[in-house]
């Protein structure tokens, strides 16, 4: 995709998602994410009826009059979008690929966050962390996030070491990342590594954040790391699927290739056994993942790349709001 095409695509996504955000998304987002907790606001004189546990004894001793600390809800959030840009995300049997669906979802979330005055950042990953954009506020920053996801396939994934971004990362994290690069240089092509993305976030996000993990979750061995990360952050697993992953038309003999490993397999799509097994495995994988995440108190949203991104997201916001009211 050429720069002019990327700019045109960003404008289109801005128009479509911006309308959804202004109409319905922003309010639903605000009602669900309440902030990290309470933050100190001021010290004021004690008034009969105040909770004595809020008395500031230092100020009271200094002034000779009782004073209490006043706290307000900390509304500002940090929202991080962890977007899987591995080769399997390029698959799409409908009007768009899973990656294109992830771009639209990222735009919806980024614009909803900035609309409510929150910071939003992004990490693109596949076998490791490819590009990190630190959390910031503002509509231009949200559009930069959309542009970077669209342009991710136009160069070798070395954006993390680009001067404009790399210098914004703490020195300790830069040293850790360089060691990891040196260790893995020369290794065979790797598939998706959700664990590496979460480890990177652990290094760069010192405070609790809302993490939207946007992926097809075609990975293994990451659940323990995910559980550990969810203790510190509020992680929302956003599973991107495609209809052909569960239902393939009877097109005869077809050679299928694993987009990440390059392995091929010849299958007979006319076989009822093959198609039944395909549907069964797709359903089992999704159900098992949902059960595993639910056991840790983590939320999961399922998105069909060929359908609306807005409807599942709104459904999630409403369900989560109902849980918070209980």
Tens digit of each residue's pLDDT (9 = 90 or more) over 203-253: 899 888 899 999 999 998 899 999 999 988 999 999 999 999 999 889 899
Does residue 19 fall inside a structural domain?
no
End position of a domain, from candidates 73, 99, 127 = 73
Does residue 203 fall inside a structural domain?
yes
Q: The tokens 């396939």 sit on which residue?
A: 153
Shared domain for 45 and 162, answered yes or no, is no
Rounded Cα gap, residues 54 and 105, in angstroms: 42
Q: What does the buried/exposed string (b/e) look like for 119-132 if buried means 16 or more CB atoms within 10 Å of the residue's CB?
A: bbbbbbbbbbbbbb
Shared domain for 167 and 113, answered yes or no, is yes
Model pLDDT, residue 266 = 92
Shared domain for 157 and 54, answered yes or no, is no
- Domain count for the chain: 2
pLDDT digits (tens, 9 = 90+) for 51-65: 888 899 999 999 999
Shared domain for 134 and 84, answered yes or no, is yes
- Evaluate if residue 107 carries a pLDDT over 60: yes
Model pLDDT, residue 154 = 44
Rounded Cα gap, residues 303 and 281, in angstroms: 18
Beta bridge mates, 136: 120
Model pLDDT, residue 282 = 93
pLDDT digits (tens, 9 = 90+) for 285-320: 999 999 998 888 889 999 999 998 988 988 898 888
Shared domain for 48 and 105, answered yes or no, is no
Shared domain for 247 and 120, answered yes or no, is yes
Shared domain for 263 and 280, answered yes or no, is yes
Does residue 7 fall inside a structural domain?
no
- Evaluate if residue 163 carries a pLDDT over 50: no
Beta bridge mates, 40: 71
Q: What is the mean pLDDT of the chain?
A: 80
Does residue 13 fall inside a structural domain?
no
Which of 95-104, 165-174, 294-303 has the lowest average pLDDT? 165-174
Does residue 227 fall inside a structural domain?
yes
Does residue 219 fall inside a structural domain?
yes
Instruction: Write the CATH number for 105.
Output: 3.40.50.410
End position of a domain, from candidates 49, 73, 97 = 73
Shared domain for 46 and 68, answered yes or no, is yes
Q: Give me the domain span that covers residue 127.
A: 77-325
SS3 (DSSP) at 123: strand
SS3 (DSSP) at 22: helix
Rounded Cα gap, residues 43 and 59, in angstroms: 8
pLDDT digits (tens, 9 = 90+) for 133-153: 999 998 889 888 888 877 764
Shared domain for 216 and 295, answered yes or no, is yes
Does residue 23 fall inside a structural domain?
no
Shared domain for 148 and 52, answered yes or no, is no
Shared domain for 87 and 151, answered yes or no, is yes
End position of a domain, from candidates 46, 73, 100 = 73
Shared domain for 81 and 68, answered yes or no, is no
Q: How many percent of the chain have pLDDT more than 90? A: 36
């Amino acid at each position: 995709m050429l720069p002019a095409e990327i700019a045109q695509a960003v404008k289109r996504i801005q128009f479509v998602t911006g309308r959804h955000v202004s109409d319905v998304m922003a309010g639903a987002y605000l009602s669900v994410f309440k902030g990290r907790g309470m933050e100190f606001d001021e010290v004021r004189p004690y008034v009969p009826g105040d909770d004595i546990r809020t008395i500031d004894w230092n100020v009271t001793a200094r002034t000779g009059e009782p004073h209490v600390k006043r706290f307000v809800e900390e509304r500002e959030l940090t929202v991080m979008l962890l977007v899987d840009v591995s080769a399997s995300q390029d698959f799409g049997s409908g009007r768009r690929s899973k990656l294109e669906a992830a771009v639209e979802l990222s735009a919806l979330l980024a614009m909803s966050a900035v609309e409510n005055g929150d910071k939003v950042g992004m990490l693109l990953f596949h076998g490791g962390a490819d590009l990190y954009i630190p959390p910031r506020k503002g509509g231009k920053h949200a559009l930069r996030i959309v542009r970077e996801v669209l342009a991710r396939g136009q160069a070798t994934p070395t954006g993390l070491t680009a001067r404009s971004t790399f210098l914004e990362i703490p020195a300790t994290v830069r040293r850790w990342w360089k060691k990891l690069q040196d260790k893995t240089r020369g290794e065979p092509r790797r598939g998706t590594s959700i664990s590496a993305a979460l480890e990177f976030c652990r290094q760069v996000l010192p405070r609790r954040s809302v993490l939207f993990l946007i992926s097809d979750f075609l990975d293994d061995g990451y659940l323990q790391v995910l559980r550990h990360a969810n203790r510190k952050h509020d992680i929302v697993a956003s599973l991107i699927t495609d209809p052909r992953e569960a239902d393939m038309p009877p097109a005869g003999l077809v050679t299928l290739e694993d987009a990440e490993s390059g392995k091929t397999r010849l299958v007979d799509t006319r076989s009822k056994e093959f198609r039944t097994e395909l549907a069964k495995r797709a359903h089992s994988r999704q159900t098992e993942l949902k059960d595993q995440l639910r056991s840790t108190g983590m939320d999961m949203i399922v998105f069909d790349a060929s359908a609306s991104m807005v409807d599942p997201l709104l459904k999630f916001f409403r369900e989560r709001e109902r849980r918070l009211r209980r």
